[in-house]
Amino acid sequence: MTIDPTTAAACENSPAPQAPGSSRVGLIVPSSNTTMETELPELFRRQSEATGHRYTFHSARAAMKQVNREELLAMVGKAAECATAVSDADVDVIAYACLVAVMAQGPGAHKESEQVIGEAARDNGHPADVVSSAGALVRTLQTIGAHRVAIVTPYMAPLTQMVREYIEGEGIEVLDAVALEVPDNLAVGRLDPENLPDIARGLEREGAEAIVLSACVQMPSLAAVQRVEDELGLPVVTAATATTFEVLRALGHRPAISGAGRLLTGELS
């Protein structure tokens, strides 16, 4: 069989055509992240089950092992490079999935990060909508009218305080913030979500309009979201569910996901 070299070159240089009724989601994640690429596909599997639309995931990774300011800053510096790489797959939307790396850059930093990533994808010839987990969390809380919240993070206390201040800088009062103080990102991914209901019960919730059960894309929480929401009677949001919510909105798709809180059933928007 003779292979046309022109056709072979085109195959190497172009992603496969997208199948009808499907969307491609690009992810930019820390190199040590083990949770975002499990929780998001599971959420979108449930969306597919309800709607028939299919989603595929395509990742780029930026080095980060310890959750400290130095490594977070280095990761942010790789955002454009990762965006260029993942946009080679001609994705429809890119999710920048490291909440604390963005928030550590100062107030409103999600806006600049999303702009940098969008420009890199566009300059690479594959423009895509961009969602950051940091931006998704604060915008989602604003969308559902949650002006007072209680949050759980896996971070050390100083980083947790920084996350608290970032959220409050977006006009959302943080009534209580629990810091689990786990510095190693792989260890964060091994935290047991079965512990979260008890942690949530201990939050100061008087006056709260929502609970942020995991203000981190690496801390597993999906298994506990619905249980905590049912028990405490408040909307429960996580970095992962907020990112999913905004990815669906960017694609023009109405949420239809069960077992992950009212946000993703579409009841709150």
Residues annotated catalytic, as ranges: 98, 216
Is 185 annotated as belonging to a binding site? yes
Is 195 annotated as belonging to a binding site? no
Q: Is 244 helix (H, G, I), strand (E, B) or coil?
A: helix
Q: What does the alpha-carbon distance between residue 82 and residue 59 come to, in Å, rounded to a whole number?
A: 9
Is 11 annotated as belonging to a binding site? no
Strands (E), the chain: 22-30, 54-62, 93-96, 129-132, 148-153, 173-179, 210-214, 236-238
Cα torsion 114, 116, 122, 124: sign: negative
Is 217 annotated as belonging to a binding site? yes
Is 100 annotated as belonging to a binding site? yes
Is 99 annotated as belonging to a binding site? yes
Q: What is the dihedral of CA 82, 185, 219, 87, to 10 degrees?
A: 10
Q: What does the alpha-carbon distance between residue 29 and residue 24 come to, in Å, rounded to a whole number?
A: 16
Is 155 annotated as belonging to a binding site? yes
Q: What does the alpha-carbon distance between residue 113 and residue 80 come to, in Å, rounded to a whole number?
A: 9
Is 142 annotated as belonging to a binding site? no
Q: What does the alpha-carbon distance between residue 180 and residue 133 come to, in Å, rounded to a whole number?
A: 20
Task: Kindly state the tokens that stand for 182.
Answer: 């786990």
Q: What does the alpha-carbon distance between residue 152 and residue 148 come to, in Å, rounded to a whole number?
A: 14
Q: Is 109 left (phi over 0), alpha (psi -120 to 50) or beta?
A: alpha
Q: How far is CA 95 from CA 24, 139, 209, 214, in A?
A: 11, 14, 26, 17
Task: Kindly state the tokens that stand for 192.
Answer: 């047991």
Q: What does the alpha-carbon distance between residue 123 and residue 141 come to, in Å, rounded to a whole number?
A: 32
> Residues annotated in the binding site, as ranges?
33, 98-100, 155, 185, 217-218
> Residues annotated in the binding site for substrate, as ranges?
33, 98-100, 155, 185, 217-218
